[in-house]
Amino acid sequence: MSRTVLLIEDNEQNRYLATFLLEKHGYRVVTASDGPAGIELARSLSPDLILLDIQLPKMDGHAVAQALRGVAELRETPLIAVTSYAMIGDRERSLAAGCNGYIEKPINPETFIVEIENFVRTPPPANPSSQ
Ligand code: MN
């Protein structure tokens, strides 16, 4: 079963690159270009992971994160902020708003999927003999 990623990102080039990389690795990707549309999609889809740009029109990513965390069914959904390298304060605010972590922009195609998988990977079953 393929995993669904909801990508909330207003920049078309960033949407294109992230979607390309995720689909290439077997994810199903649904995109929204602003916060209200993203929240609506999150509620209807219950995605396995949400990638959230912080600099968005209408509602910034911190407000979007808080709204998503206010929805009971989305409280445990991995929520990853995508923040510009220069915006140091954004990271702490993202975590405070309910994000589980962040990925730096610009997206690095070499490491993007590994970073994503660190957040969606289910812990292996306890089995000492398989170490
Ligand atoms: Mn943006």
Per-residue pLDDT tens digits for 20-45: 999 999 999 999 999 999 999 999 99
- Region of 125 please: left (phi>0), alpha (psi -120 to 50) or beta: beta
- The pocket of ion ligand 1, defined by CB under 5 A, consists of 10, 53, 55
Instruction: Report how far ligand 1's centroid is from the alpha carbon of 89 (Å).
Output: 16
- Could you tell me if residue 130 is inside a domain? no
Instruction: Report how far ligand 1's centroid is from the alpha carbon of 52 (Å).
Output: 9
CATH number, domain with residue 35: 3.40.50.2300
- Structural domain tally of the chain? 1
Instruction: Report how far ligand 1's centroid is from the alpha carbon of 105 (Å).
Output: 10
- Could you tell me if residue 127 is inside a domain? no
pLDDT digits (tens, 9 = 90+) for 83-126: 886 677 888 899 999 999 999 999 999 999 999 998 876 555 66
CA distance 130 to 22: 29
Q: What pTM did the predictor assign? A: 0.89
Instruction: Report how far ligand 1's centroid is from the alpha carbon of 117 (Å).
Output: 22
Residue 52, domain extent: 4-122
